[in-house]
Structure 1
C-alpha cells in the first residue's frame, strides 16, 4: 500500500504550498488509522523539502510517478520515497530512496551491515542505510509478481541529507562496500549526484503506471529466490531430517498447502523438548514452501537462532535475498489479515505480548502472527520459558487461534537427538532440578558425558579441549554477573570473576556466538544459546540456584541487574510474594535446564554454591554405585 502517490508536478506543488507533510499525515490516518507523532511529521518536512530540491530539474520528467511511504506487503517495512518512469529503452524503472536525518554514525567492527547512530532519542545499533535500501528493493524483487513479470528495474539508494561526509568516513568502511555498491549512499552536499542517479534511470514519465503495478502486484516468490534457498539447503547436513521429524514435516506441508488452496486459516502447534528437531523441520519447510510459490518466513523472538541458522544456510556468502526470510516476532504488529501464506514460529515459548524495544507496540505477538498468515506453525516447549515476558503456551495459542477463527492441529515430537539421543538425561535433569518428579533418579544406561567440576578453570579446560575438534563447544552461565556495558566488545573486559577464574560475557559485535571461532574465549548466556546446540557445553551455575536444607531453592536476588529476564519481579514480590516466587522459580530452573541441554554429547558443570555441587555429585555417585552393584550381582 502506498500512503501518498502523485506525479512529480503534484509533489513539487505540494512542497511549494507547504502541504506535503499534512497530506501524508491525513492519508496515514485514513488508510492506516493511526496518528502521526510530531517527530515523524517534522522528519517528513525536512526530508521531503530536500527531495523537492532534488526533483526540481527539468531533465526529470514532469509526469514521472512519485510515491511516499510504500508499505511492503507481508511486512511492517515502508519505503520512504520512490520515483517511477521508463528508461532510455522504454524499460520500466523505479528508484527507491531511503531517507535518513542522521548526522553521525559509527561502524560496528566485525559485522558487514550494522552501524551505531543516534536515532529515536538514543544511540542504537541499526543496519547501514545502504543495506536497508538494498534489502527493501530485494524484498520487492523477490515477492512482487508484477515486478518479476514486467521486469521492472529497481535502483535503490540512501540519502543522508544532514550527514557531512569526511575522508575515510565510517559510512564508507570496507565492511559496507558491497551494499554501497548495490545502493549508493548520498550525503550532505551530494544533491547533484543523487539527482544524476535518478536521471540515469528515469528518462520518460509513466503517469504513475509503474507505481500502480507495484502497489497491486500479487505476492509470489521469485524463481531466483526459490533456487537460492533450495541450493543452500541441498546437501547441508545441518538440516537433514530423520524419523518423526520427516513425519511432522509432511503433515505440516500438507496442511499448509491445503490453506494455500482453500484459503482457510490453520494453526499448527508442534510440541517437542530440547533436540527434537523443531528448527530442522522449520528450515526445511521454509525452503520447500517457498518453492511451492508461498510467501513464507521463519520467525523467532530471539535474534540468536535467526542469525545462526541464516549463517549456516549462507555459508561464506555475505549478501543474499534469503536474509529477508528470517524475521523477528514483532514484525507483524501492523500486518494485515492473511498477508503471508505460512509463518514458521520457532521457539514459540519465547513470544511476548507487546513488541518493540520498549514493549509498547502491538497487542499480542501470538494473535498478530495468526492474524497475518493463512497457516501459522508454532514450535513450542513450555519448559523453556525463561523470562517474565515469555507468554508462549499451548493455551495462549489455542485462545488466539479460536479468536481468529482458525482450525487448530496438534503434533508432538518425542525422540530427541541432543544429549546423545537420551530422553533419560532430560528426565533426570528435570528430577535433579526439582522441575518435576520423574522415574529417572539416576542416569543408568545413559551414554552422556556429564561431569561436576571442582573449579571453573577445570570446566573451561575441558570445553577448550573439546572445542579443538570442530568449534562446537562453549562455556555458558546463568545470568548472575553484570554485563559491563563499556566492555561489551572487549574480550579482555572480564565480567565473570570467580576466584582466579575470569572470562567475558559474549561480545556484542562480530559473528553470532554459536559459530564464531573466537567465542571459546567468552561465556554465553541464555539469550545467545537458547534454540541452538553444541557438541559439548560447560555450564556455570550461579548463586541464583542452590541446595539448602535438603532441597533445591532459587533466589532471584542473585541475578544480575543487567539481566532483563526477571524485570518486574521485585514489584510483583511486594504485591504477591508467593506468585512472584513461583514465577521466579520456574524461570530460573527452566534457564538452567535449557543451558544444560545445549550439548549433544556432554555437559560439564561448575556450581558456585558448595551445597549444589555436593548435591549434584551425590546424584552422580548414586549412578556409579548402582552400576557397581549391578555388575557384582
Structure 2
C-alpha cells in the first residue's frame, strides 16, 4: 500500500500539471489507508523528493510514497526501486525529515533533540528499516539489495555534517547517507545518496514481486527473541505461569494439527502472567509449527500503545515487526499463515466487530481477556459473548483460566479483597494481612513522601490517580504544568494544605546534558524521573512496578454505605455522555487496575473526606511516611 506508486517521471508530470492536486490526491489516499490526515511537513516533502530525483536523471525509477511494509503496520516515507546492471533489483529506503536544526546528544548518539523533542537519529531509523527488510523479506526470491538514505531538505550543510559525524561509529547507522538542502541541488550527490548510479527502471513484474513479497520472520529471529526474554527479569515466568505456558503449547499443538478454525481463550486477573505468556508465545508458535512440519508466524497484538511500546523496547531488534496495535494489524491484511496473539483483548474498541475480523483473518488465534479491566464505554466483550461469537462463525473455542497471581507479592487474598471493596456488595472485612504491604495515608504529602523514600532507595514507586483533573497538552518545548491539585486540611493544625503535581508527559524532556529528565508517558511507569509525575489508567494498565500510590478522585465516593459514581467529575473526554450507572462499573475497573499495579506494596488516599474515613476504617493508616 502507498499513496503514490509509479515512475518518478509520472509523479513529476502530475506535479507540473498541478502540485496542489498531486499533494491533495496523495493526502486523500493517505486518509483512506490510515484513517488520518498526513502532516503538513509530510505533504511538503513529497514534491521536494520527486523534483530532486528528476534533476538527478532518475525519472525511470519506481517511487512508492508512504510505502507500507506488508504485515507490520509500519511504513517508510518512500521506497525507490531500480534494476541493477546484473538484472537484479535494488530497493532504497528514503526517510524524509523536515528539520532545519537539531541538537546532537553525546550521551546517546542514536537520538537527537529537535524543537525540544527527543527523536531517533534518522540514520538509526533507516538502519532499522534495512534490518527489517534484510531479515523478513525473502530477498533471494527477488534478488534484492537494500540501501537507505535520510533526506533533510531544510537542513544546512553543517547540520548534515553533524548528523553524519555522530554515527560514524554506530554499526548499521554509519552506512546510511544523509542529503541536506545543498545536496538536493547537486544531481551527482542525489544519485550517490540513493545509491542509484547505474540503476534502470524496474520491470513491471519486478515491481509486482516487491509489492507481493512474503514478509516472514526467520526462525533465527525467534531464537534471538527468546534469548532476550530469558535475560529480562520482567519477562520471567514463575510457578504456575510456567505450567500455563506448557498447557498453552499443548493446546496450540493440537489446534495446529487439527482441521478447521480455532480460538484459544485465556482468561485471568491482574498479575496472572497474561502479557508475559502472550509474548513468550511469539517464540513458541513458529517452533511448534516447525515440529509439525508446517510453517506459520506469530504476531502480538494489543490495543494498549503503552504496553506495546514497553514490549518492543524490551525485545529490542529481535522483536521488530512482531508487535502491533489491533487496528494496525487489521489494516495490514497479512496474507501468510499466521497466529495473532491478542493481549488485553478486553480493551478492543468495537470488539464485536473487530474480533470477528481477527478470526476471519486466520485459522488459529489466541486471545487474553480480563473482563474486569474494561475501562471505556466503547470497549469490551465478555468471555461468554466471545465464545458465542466464535461458535457462530464455526470456530472451535478452547478456554484456559489463569488463577494464581504473582503481582501484589503473590497475595491472592489482596486481589480478592480489592474485588470485594470495589462492588456495591457488603464491605470487606478490614485488611489485616501482612503478606502484602497495603495501607492508607493521612494526606497527599504522606503519599508523595512514601514514593520519594522508595525512589531514594533505588526502588521504582509511582503515583497514579483517577482522571479527575484537567490535562494541559503542551508541546515538547513547554514545561509541565501542575494540573493535579490536591488540597486537604492538616489534621494537627487545621491549616489548609496543597500539593500540586503534573500529569505524566506526552514528550521526553532532557536536561542540559541531553539525558532524559522526564520520561514520556509510555515510559512513565519504568524510567527514572517518572515518580515526579502522576500517571493515569492509560499509562499504568498492563504494567507493574514495586510500589504503587493511588489517589481516588472525586469521581468515585462513598455515601450511605454505597459507592456513588460521578462521571461529571471525570475529565476524560471518552466519558462524555456516560450515565452514573455506566460509569460506576468503569470506575470500579479503573481503580481496581490502579490498586493492583504494585508488586510489593500500595498506598491509597481519597480526595473525598467521607470516602477517606471509610478507607481508614477498613485499611491500616500511615501518617507522614518518609
1:353 and 2:350 aligned: yes
Pairwise CA distance, 1:278: 0.4
Query: What per-residue deviation string (whole Å, max 9, x for no partner) do you get for residues 120-176 of structure 1?
Result: xxx99997766665444443333222x156662211334455x45475589959999
- Alignment correspondent of 1:625: none
> Aligned partners of 1:38 and 1:535: how far apart in 2?
40
Report the Cα offset of residue 447 of structure 1: 1.0
Matched residues, number = 583
Q: Which residue of 2 aligns with 1:270?
A: 266
Which residue does the alignment assign to 2:360? 371
Task: Report the more deviating stretch, 416-425 or 124-133.
Answer: 124-133
SS at 2:194 equivalent: helix
Residue matched to 1:572 = none
Give the corresponding residue for 2:144: 152
User: Aligned to 2:619, what secondary structure does the other structure show?
Assistant: helix
Alignment-derived partner of residue 297 in structure 1: 299
Pairing 1:46-85 to 2, within 5 Å after superposition = 47=46, 50-51=49-50, 53-55=52-54, 57=56, 70-79=67-76, 81-85=78-82
Relative distance call for 1:352 and 1:47 in structure 2 (3 A) is same
Q: Is the 8 A contact 1:20 1:45 kept in 2?
A: no
Change (3 A) 1:414 1:187: same
**Residue of structure 2 in register with 1:249 after alignment:** 245
Confirm or deny that 1:495 pairs with 2:483: yes
Q: Structure 1 residues 458, 257: closer, same or farther in 2, change over 3 A?
A: same
Q: 2:407 aligns with which of 401, 418, 436?
A: 418
Return closer, same or farther for 1:419/1:150 CA change in 2, 3 Å cut-off: same
Deviations 1:522-554 (A, max 9, x none): 222111111111121111122222222222222
CA distance in 2 between counterparts of 1:401 and 1:246 reads 27
SS at match of 1:500: strand
Correspondence for 2:565 among 554, 573, 598: 554
44-53 vs 260-269, which moves further: 44-53
Structure 1's 555 and 340: CA in aligned 2 closer, same or farther, altered over 3 A? farther
> How far off is 1:397 after superposition?
3.5
Matched, 1:280 2:276: yes
Sort the Cα spacing of 1:339 and 1:113 in 2 relative to 1 into closer, same or farther, 3 A.
Answer: farther
Aligned to 1:517: 528
Counterparts in 2 of 1:504 and 1:516: CA distance versus 1, 3 Å: same
Distance apart, 1:38 and its partner CA: 10
CA-to-partner distance for each residue in 1:327-378, whole Å, 9 max, x for gaps?
2222134343755612222222211129xxxxxxxx9433343334443222
In the other structure, the counterpart of 1:526 is: 537
Q: Counterpart of 1:507? A: 505
Instruction: Determine the C-alpha separation between the residues in 2 that align with 1:330 and 1:311.
Output: 20
The correspondence for 1:566, drawn from 568, 575, 587, is: 575
Aligned to 1:609: 608
Report if the CA contact (8 A) 2:463-2:549 is conserved. Answer: yes
Q: Distance in 2 between matches of 1:491 and 1:86?
A: 51
- The change in CA–CA distance for 1:478 and 1:38 in structure 2 (over 3 A counts) is closer
CA distance, structure 1, for counterparts of residue 377 and residue 215 of structure 2: 37
In the TM superposition, residue 417 of structure 1 has moved relative to its aligned partner by 0.7
* Match in the other structure for 2:516: none
Give the 3 Å change call, closer, same or farther, for CA 389–249 of structure 1 in structure 2. Answer: same
Query: For residue 599 of structure 1, what is the aligned residue in structure 2?
Result: 598
Within 5 Å, give how 1:441-520 maps onto structure 2.
441-443=429-431, 445=433, 447-486=435-474, 493-498=481-486, 499-510=497-508, 511=519, 512-520=523-531
Cα offset for 1:71?
Answer: 3.9
Of the three residues 132, 135, 141, the one matched with 2:134 is 141
Structure 1 residue 72 displacement after superposition: 2.6
Aligned pairs for 1:304-343 within 5 A: 304-314=306-316, 320=317, 322-336=319-333, 339=336, 341-343=338-340
- Tell which deviates more after alignment, 126-135 or 67-76: 126-135
Give the Cα separation in 2 of the matches to 1:556 and 1:173. 53
Secondary structure of 2:46's counterpart equals: helix
| CA RMSD, 1 decimal | 4.5
How far apart, CA to CA, are the structure 1 residues paired with 2:148 and 2:201?
A: 18
The 1:387–1:15 alpha-carbon spacing in structure 2 relative to 1, beyond 3 Å, is closer
Name the CA distance, whole Å, in 2 between partners of 1:435 and 1:594: 17
CA distance in 2, matches of 1:591, 1:66: 47
Give the structure-1-normalised TM-score.
Answer: 0.77
8 A contact 2:445–2:499 mirrored in 1: yes
Cα 1:150–1:168 change in 2 (3 A) is: closer
CA contact (8 A) 1:134 1:156 kept: yes
Normalised by the length of structure 2, the TM-score is: 0.78
Name the CA shift for 1:234/1:554 in 2 (closer, same or farther; >3 Å): same
2-structure distance, mates of 1:369, 1:139? 24
Q: Distance in 2 between matches of 1:435 and 1:184?
A: 63
Q: Deviations over 1:53-102 (max 9, x none)?
A: 514655x595x5555665432144455543334557776422123457x5
Report the Cα distance in structure 1 between the residues aligned to 2:119 and 2:327, rounded to whole angstroms. Answer: 16
Specify every segment of 5 or more residues in structure 2 that has no aligned partner in the other structure, as ranges: 487-496, 509-518, 622-626
